[in-house]
Amino acid sequence: MTLLLRTVQLKTQREPAEGLRIGAVRFLPRGVPKEDYARLDYFDVWLPTLAPSRELLAQFKVTNISIETVLKRYRNEMKQTEARQTIQLLAELAKRTPLAIGCYCEQETRCHRSELFKLIREAAGLSPELPLSEFCIYTIRHPDELSEALKLRRAITWQEHKPWTQGKHLLGNARQNNTRLPILFADATDCTRLTHWAVVSRIDIQAKATRYEFHSLRPLRGRHSPQELTLRSTGVKIAEGFIKPYAICKIPKFLTDSEARLSRESSH
């Protein structure tokens, strides 16, 4: 079963087949007449029941409380009957008709909608996270940069001097198929070791350069090498001494296995 559910930033242009746009926000847009909410792509329905409380909203803006803590509190607020039943309703609706749940925040990873998305999936009897796509992007990065990025615990944007055309295409496909596109990082100092992975959230190509955004960066468990990866183009494993900074690969089994383990752990 797939849910016809996606998340959106309110007031962004609607995508085809997006369906009903729901504003899961505490406050109405300021200075906008009620009859213009839908026309200006804010939302079709306002649903403040699924927004964080005023107290909690204030905490989203404070940076010394971790976003994980704030999202946990939001999850707790959604346990009260009215919210819980509304989530259940959306879960049943999304099995039949496309829904988009949205908020004003630009960064999804720092917004309650990322958590709401998971809650609706759980209410539909699905695992909270979307499955990983069939392919992944392979790239290289210096270990110091990756350790620094790991500390930030937010979405990160990096640049590459090469157009990631296939990668952009893959991301579009992943969205359409309701999957997450992983990116695997190898140690750029000698390219012999895969060290981290993350989920790609955006790829922009401009003048042959690429800006890509990713979130949920994690170190890989155990020791893995690029030679465990199979190139999509040739169906052959990455050869030793491969130093290209970018490739499209089939998703390795160790990644899907570790994901399955993670989602089992988080459901307990």
Contacting positions for Zn ion (CB under 5 A)? 103, 105, 111
Residue 13 tokens read as: 């242009």
Residue 265 tokens read as: 């752990």
- Nearer to Zn ion among residue 103 and residue 229 (C-beta): 103
CB of 11 to Zn ion, least distance (A): 12
CB of 37 to Zn ion, least distance (A): 17
- Nearer to Zn ion among residue 7 and residue 179 (C-beta): 7
Residue 147 tokens read as: 């350790």
- Nearer to Zn ion among residue 103 and residue 170 (C-beta): 103
CB of 194 to Zn ion, least distance (A): 33
Of 193, 109, 187, 195, nearest to 152 (Cα)? 109
- Nearer to Zn ion among residue 103 and residue 184 (C-beta): 103
Q: What is d(CA 220, CA 229) in angstroms, rounded to the nearest whole number? A: 14
Q: Contact 167/184 with Cβ under 8 angstroms? A: no
CB of 116 to Zn ion, least distance (A): 9
Q: What is d(CA 21, CA 150) in angstroms, rounded to the nearest whole number? A: 33
Query: What amino acid is encoded at 244 in this protein?
Result: K
**Residues near 237 by Cβ (< 8 Å), separated by ≥ 6?**
227, 228, 229, 230, 231
β-strands 209-224, 194-206: how paired?
antiparallel
227 half-sphere exposure, CB direction, 13 A CA radius: 5
CB of 9 to Zn ion, least distance (A): 8
CB of 24 to Zn ion, least distance (A): 8
Residue written as tokens 């960064």? 107
